[in-house]
Amino acid sequence: MRPSSILLLLSLTLWLAACANTQEREMKKNAAEANFKLGIGYMQSGRFEVATEKLLKSLQFDDKNPEAHNALAVLYEEIREYGPAETHYKQAIDLKPDYTLAKLNYARLLCTHQPARMAEGEGEFQKIATDPANAGATAADAYVGLAWCARQRNDVAQTETWLRKALESNSSNAPALYELAQISQSQNKTLSARAFLQRYHAQTRPTPPSLALGVRIENAPNGDPQLRQEYAKLLRSQFPNTDETRRLNKPE
């Protein structure tokens, strides 16, 4: 065989190998993405066992996807497997050092489920909140996280302080508004509780807990009977089979 023919054959072989490798990479990428989307869907519908299977399968095809690691960590946390949850949060952050959502989730895990490491979780939240790159909504989420930590210690005053800091960063932060409505109601501050809850409902759709909170707020001596009836009506009509509605309907 002539040298030119040998070179042509080698070039063709290398080209075919490159095409095969490209096709294989593309196939793995598509499989990873498909399983990731299925895993998220199953997780949202509460089918955690199947969701775990799909997310693990996604990582088999692409173990460098930080979003898949974060989603799997959230799932493990939901089913109370906190060790694997921490592992995957850390992997997500290692793969994407600026992945703030994973950092927030990791800090929350430490505060909420590992009391001995609460200070570590608070430190993580502090770093996120004070990072100039995280101004606004992200800083607010970090302050809400610090409020969660303070609540774990039953420090109501500090919890309220962090929640108000959250609203300074983002006046529309729904979790902060809801938590402050709860705190105000527990302190018999009806007007304040009402205002926070109304701001909360302006940001997101009512839920059974938020409507039940509205009923409790307006059930105070200085509450608004008409508002109480409206909250109760919404709760019964939109969420008839919830624990909140059953408690509302239970004779006193």
**Residue-level pLDDT at 81:** 95
First to last CA, the chain: 98
- According to the model, what pLDDT value does residue 109 have? 95
CATH architecture of structural domain 172-252? Alpha Horseshoe (1.25)
- Rounded to 5 degrees, what are φ and ψ at 187? -100, 10
Question: What per-residue confidence (pLDDT) applies to 193?
Answer: 97
Write down the pLDDT at residue 136. Answer: 83
HSE (CB half, 13 Å, CA atoms) of 131?
17
What pLDDT is recorded for position 134? 76
What local confidence, expressed as pLDDT, does residue 135 receive?
Answer: 76
Q: How far apart are CA 12 and CA 165, in angstroms?
A: 64
Contact predicate 105/96, CB 8 Å: no
Q: Which residues of the chain register pLDDT less than 70?
A: 1-24, 251-252
Query: Which residues, other chains included, contact 57 with Cβ-Cβ below 8 Å and sequence gap of 6+?
Result: 31, 35, 39
Angle at 64 between CA 62 and CA 66, to 5 degrees: 115
pLDDT digits (tens, 9 = 90+) for 45-66: 999 999 999 999 999 989 999 9
Q: What is the pLDDT of residue 145?
A: 95
Cβ-contact 122, 111 below 8 angstroms: yes
Cα–Cα distance for residue pair 121/204, rounded to 1 Å: 28
Specify whether the CB–CB gap between 163 and 144 falls below 8 A.
Answer: yes
Its pTM stands at 0.81
For the chain, state the CA radius of gyration.
25
Q: Cβ atoms within 10 A of the Cβ of 78, count? A: 13
Q: What is the reported pLDDT for 202?
A: 96
Please tell me the predicted confidence (pLDDT) of residue 52: 94
Q: What is the pLDDT of residue 187?
A: 96
Phi, psi values for residue 201, rounded to 5°: -65, -20
Residue keyed to tokens 């501050």: 189
Q: What tokens were used for 168?
A: 């300074």
